[in-house]
Structure 1
Amino acid sequence: MKTRGKEIRLRHTGLMKATGFFLLSFALVGCGFGTSKPSELHNLAPVVGRITFKGQPTTGAELILFDMGVDGDPTSGTPVTKATVGGDGKFSVQTIVSKGTANGAKPGEYVAAISWKKPLRPNDQESDLGPELLPKKYQDPGTSTVLISVKPGRNELEPIELNP
């Protein structure tokens, strides 16, 4: 396991929903206008993977990848890279660029913060979300043990199994 220079603590509130998890992503990079810069899209490498908790797919879980950067500090990395886990536990990473999102991530080392909450009423798109289903250690990039290495070209990650 790699170590980081300092522990990072994020504030979590009981009111934060999975959608709020990604609003934070947009706030970190700001609102962009105009077209995406070619350099934003040119260096992105496709990243796909599968994530489970206690052997079960984490359908609907949200991942934010924090770039470890040169000094190993996951809070200094931009742009924001994210993924939402599908019904079979699979995910495909996207990076927020000046005009929306683009598939892939720039090559580098990342730590993943993961949140998984199920809707209280599964058939209602406006449903509130239930309690967090993953241990707190996975929700904070300062304590998460999920490290992802992105290389140039297509990246098919080994399955990620989260444990209590």
Structure 2
Amino acid sequence: VAGQVADSGVLVIDNIPVGLHDVMASFPGYESQEVQVNVPGGLAAEVRIDLATQATGSIDISSTPTNVQIFVDDLYKGITPAVIEVPAGSYIVLLRLSGYQDWSAQVDVNGGETTVLSGTLLPTSGAPVPTASSGPSFMMTMLIIVSGCIFAALCCQKGRR
């Protein structure tokens, strides 16, 4: 590392030996670029390097609960958890699940980087949220099934007489 370019956009490096040298420029969110520079004896060598932004990044999306629909700028992109590749830029991510309030956030994605996003959806008021303990128990369900079978058997026997 020979130095960092100041806000002026100029980096001056002194006392470079005469001859060919490889110069590499890099910055987060941009594609690195390498050029070869011939430093002549007694003269300054000027190099201009313009870095191009990296084309894509990704959003690593998770949610509580899981298996929630993902929309990025109103376009359906899948179900959580998911990693979605997008062009570098700013996006509105919406998470949606029936029985829950929508959750959204703005996210900035840099080229070559992964932005992590996690949302917690809250149940809508008045809507029952299924849980592992809700609904009839196993024994109650079996009792209803057995009672139904006995009733059906009695009705069949009564019909044969």
Q: Same fold per TM (> 0.5)?
A: no
- Whose RCO is larger (CA < 8 A, sep 6+)? 1
Structure (1/2) with the larger strand percentage: 2
TM-score bucket (shorter structure):
under 0.3
- The structure that has the greater radius of gyration is 2
